[in-house]
Amino acid sequence: MNKTLSGIVSYISIIIGALLASFSVACILLPNDAIDYGTAGISIIISKLTGFNLSVCVALIFAPFVIAGAFFLGVKFTLKAITGSLAYTLGLAFFEHIPFQLNTEHFLAVAFGGAVLGFGLSIILRSGGCIDGSEILANIILKKITDKTGKNYSMMPILIAFNSIVYLAVFILIDRNAALLSLLVYVVASLVIDRYTDHFEAIKQVTIITKDEDLLINAIKEDLNKTCTIIESKGAIAGENKTLICYVNYFELQKLRDIIQKNKGTFSTVQTIDEIIR
C-alpha cells in the first residue's frame, strides 16, 4: 500500500513539476526573448524559425528520445518520462493562450523564469522523471561507456556539450541577446536544480549495510549491470553483516532505491562524488 501510494505521489509530482516548467517557458521566458535548454530549446528554435506550433514541436522532438529511453533505461523510467513530457506539452499548449506579463526588466524576468523552471525540473528529477531528451541521451551514452569499460562517469560534460550546441544555434539563427538571456536561464535553473537534487549530474556513491548481500548483488548486476565492493562489517547490535559500496548515476539511483526497498533489513546512505581518481 505504501509503495502504491508513493508511486502515485511521484507521478502527481512529475505532473506538477512539468506544469511549472511549461508555465515558466510559455509565460515568462518566451515573452522575454529567452528559451529553455536541451531538446525543449531545439523545439523552440524550430518553432520560431518555421512558425510551427510549439507544443507539437516539443512532442515530435522528444518522442525519439523517449523511445530510445524505453530500450536502454527501462519501462518504469519511460512511463515517468512520457507522463512528464505529456504534461509539459499540454501545459505549453494551455499557457500559450494565457495572458500573463511581468512588468519588469528582461534580466529580472528571465532570472525569475529560470528559477521557476529549475524548481519544476527539480521536482521531476526528484520523482524519478525527466522531460528533456538531452538527459536521456546522456544516460544512454554513459550506460554504453560503463557497460564497455566498467567505469563510472559524470553526465555533466555531455549535457554541457549538448546545450552549448543549442545556444550556439540560438546565437546564429536568432540573435545574440536571445542567446545570452537563454544562457542566464540555464545558469539559474542549474543552480536551483543542483540545490534541490544534490548535483543530479554527478556520480552517486551508495553504501548499503545488509545481512543478505547475495540478493542485493544479483539484483544490482541484473537490473543495473553494476558491480559492488563488498566489505566485512559488524554492528554493535545487529552483529555480523556486509557493507556494499556501489557507484551509479542519478537516474540509476532511482532503480537502486527500488532494489533496496525490496530487500528488508538493509540500511543505506547516498553521497555525491565530485571526482573518481583511477
pTM of the model: 0.82
Q: Domain boundaries in the chain?
A: 2-197, 203-273
Query: Does 98 score more than 80 pLDDT?
Result: yes
Alpha carbon separation from 66 to 96, 145, 226 (Å, rounded): 24, 20, 23
Query: Where would I find the H helices in 127-201?
Result: 133-149, 156-173, 176-197
Topology of domain 203-273 in CATH is Alpha-Beta Plaits (3.30.70)
Phi, psi values for residue 271, rounded to 5°: -125, 150
**Which of 131, 124, 58 shows the shortest CA–CA distance to 96?**
58
Cell numbers 518555421: residue: 50
Q: Is 128 helix (H, G, I), strand (E, B) or coil?
A: coil
DSSP string, 208-228: EEES-HHHHHHHHHHHH----
pLDDT at site 90: 92
**Which of 33, 22, 75, 6 shows the shortest CA–CA distance to 174?**
33
Q: Which residues pair with 273 in a beta bridge?
A: 203
Report the amino acid identity of residue 153. Y
pLDDT in tens, 66-80: 888 777 777 788 888
* Range in 61-65, 104-108, 112-116, 179-183 with the lowest mean pLDDT: 104-108
Q: Is 268 helix (H, G, I), strand (E, B) or coil?
A: strand
Phi, psi values for residue 132, rounded to 5°: -130, 130
Q: Please give the grid coordinates belonging to residue 107.
A: 534580466
pLDDT in tens, 135-164: 888 888 887 887 777 777 778 888 889 989
Q: Is 36 helix (H, G, I), strand (E, B) or coil?
A: coil
pLDDT at site 168: 92
Query: Does 179 score more than 90 pLDDT?
Result: no
Q: What is the largest CA-CA distance in the chain?
A: 67
DSSP class of residue 98 equals S
